[in-house]
Amino acid sequence: MADIAEEIVLDVKDIVIKFNLRGQALTAIRGTSLDVRKGETLAIVGESGSGKSVLTKSFLGMLDKNGWVDSGSVLFEGQDLAAFRDEKPWLSIRGKKISMVFQDPMTSLNPLKNVGAQIAEVYALHRGYGAKQATAAAIELLDRVGIPEAGKRHRQYPHEFSGGMRQRVVIAIAMACAPRILICDEPTTALDVTIQAQILDLIRSLQREYDFTTIYITHDLGVVANVADRVAVMYAGKIVECGSAEEVFYDPRHPYTWALLSSLPQLGIKGKPLFSIKGTPPSLFKTIEGDAFSARNPYALKIDFLREPPRFQVSPSHWAATWLLDPRAPKVEPPEIIRNLRESRQAQDAWFSGSKA
């Protein structure tokens, strides 16, 4: 595990993001804070409706037209990104200092331009390279991200590449200007599992070489376990738990994190039902009182329906926002599956006995 540096490269404080939908102002992010440390890989875990994509889009000024940052700040290199009012200040940040890789490589690429040109564009725009120099740099980068025969293939169009190859091109475009932060929004969800492993490896090696910070947004806990130094768990527009990967996986404290981990089939026992959370995440249109997870939380206390829980520190690097951590709350053991996670590692050892032979 990489040493987590103390320097904070992105500091999000109490950010509130709202949307105007069908005449109503809805709150997608309900006031949450996050700090991103230099050189780390942070994973933001959440399901649909948690707001994870919205949060990171605000770091790039890419909220939909009907959305805005209502309050709070996003400090980056001495500037407050949340205070930007028009496009101009974003131009020197987007693609240059903070870059994003999206889920679907097919819609992220311009189908009418060859891949080399799309990368060269970035060099020309942000670094002022001339045409020849930009193309040469593009070919070099294509080669670095693992596109075979880059010297020839740079002239090909996106549809001539497979899904995994396209995602590599997208990563190349995002990397071209050596950004300080790379945000990857479900970069492997649309890909097959064997390609997924390759893409994650690629991003990891690029991060070592170019020394940037990575933020992953995903709902796949396996991916998180693979890549993350620190993990932030989001539910209904707020971060509910945050800590190092080991802390969150082996010592989770928030009932939602328990529920997420417990429901993984990898940890299930054949013949017995998987643990599953009843119900559905709240829709944005309903106002949320108290803890958003309370309606689905079998461990909910009465106070969960009335007052939102504050953050409680479990260790200097690990906190969770749940009333269960309040000294006045009854002592609750996490579900058996979580307690057995360490023991079930032996079972997982058996899983791999076949492949390791």
Among positions 315-354, residues that touch another protein (CB under 8 A) are 319, 323, 326, 328-330, 341, 345, 348, 350-354
Residue 69 vs 277, nearer CB to another protein: 277
Number of residues engaging another protein in binding (CB under 8 A):
87
Sign of CA dihedral 276, 277, 279, 283: negative
Q: Please give the helix or strand (H or E) that residue 98 lies within, else none.
A: strand 98-101
Residue 46 vs 116, nearer CB to another protein: 46
Q: Is 148 in the site for another protein (CB under 8 A)?
A: no
Smallest CA-to-CA distance from 241 within 317, 132, 180, 330 is with: 317
Q: Is 214 in the site for another protein (CB under 8 A)?
A: no
Q: Which stretch binds another protein (CB under 8 A): 107-115, 131-139, 168-176, 216-224?
A: 216-224
Sequence-separated (6 or more) residues with CB below 8 Å from residue 110? 118, 158
Interaction with another protein in 25-64: which residues (CB under 8 A)? 47-49
Smallest CA-to-CA distance from 267 within 249, 286, 285 is with: 249
Q: Is 193 in the site for another protein (CB under 8 A)?
A: yes
Interaction with another protein in 58-87: which residues (CB under 8 A)? 66
Residue 138 vs 261, nearer CB to another protein: 261
CA–CA gap between residue 227 and residue 334 (Å, rounded): 25
Q: Is 149 in the site for another protein (CB under 8 A)?
A: no
Interaction with another protein in 222-241: which residues (CB under 8 A)? 222-226, 228
Q: Is 165 in the site for another protein (CB under 8 A)?
A: no
* Of the residues 88, 276, 333, 343, which one makes contact with another protein according to CB under 8 A: 276
Minimum distance from CB of 319 to another protein (Å)?
7
Contact between residue 92 and residue 61 where contact means Cβ atoms under 8 Å apart: no
Q: Is 196 in the site for another protein (CB under 8 A)?
A: yes
Residue 7 vs 283, nearer CB to another protein: 283
* Of the residues 71, 110, 205, 266, which one makes contact with another protein according to CB under 8 A: 266
Q: Please give the helix or strand (H or E) that residue 189 lies within, else none.
A: none
Minimum distance from CB of 136 to another protein (Å)?
30
* Of the residues 42, 267, 318, 334, which one makes contact with another protein according to CB under 8 A: 267
CA–CA gap between residue 74 and residue 97 (Å, rounded): 14
Residue 171 vs 202, nearer CB to another protein: 202
Residue 122 vs 228, nearer CB to another protein: 228
- φ, ψ for residue 185, nearest 5 deg: -95, 100
Going through 105-204 in order, the beta strands assigned E by DSSP cover 181-185
Residue 21 vs 75, nearer CB to another protein: 21
DSSP assignment of 236-293: TTEEEEEEEHHHHHHS--SHHHHHHHHT-GGG--TTSPPP---S-PPPTTSPP-S-TT
Sign of CA dihedral 280, 281, 287, 292: positive
DSSP, res 84 = -
Minimum distance from CB of 45 to another protein (Å)?
9
* Of the residues 88, 132, 302, 331, which one makes contact with another protein according to CB under 8 A: 302
Compute and round to an integer the Cα radius of gyration of the chain: 21
Minimum distance from CB of 354 to another protein (Å)?
5
Question: Tokens 């206390």 label which residue?
Answer: 301
Residue 38 vs 219, nearer CB to another protein: 219
Contact between residue 243 and residue 56 where contact means Cβ atoms under 8 Å apart: no
Q: Is 311 in the site for another protein (CB under 8 A)?
A: yes
Cα atoms in the Cβ-side hemisphere of radius 13 Å centred on 60: 24
- φ, ψ for residue 264, nearest 5 deg: -75, 130
Minimum distance from CB of 158 to another protein (Å)?
17
Minimum distance from CB of 81 to another protein (Å)?
23
* Of the residues 285, 331, 333, 343, which one makes contact with another protein according to CB under 8 A: 285
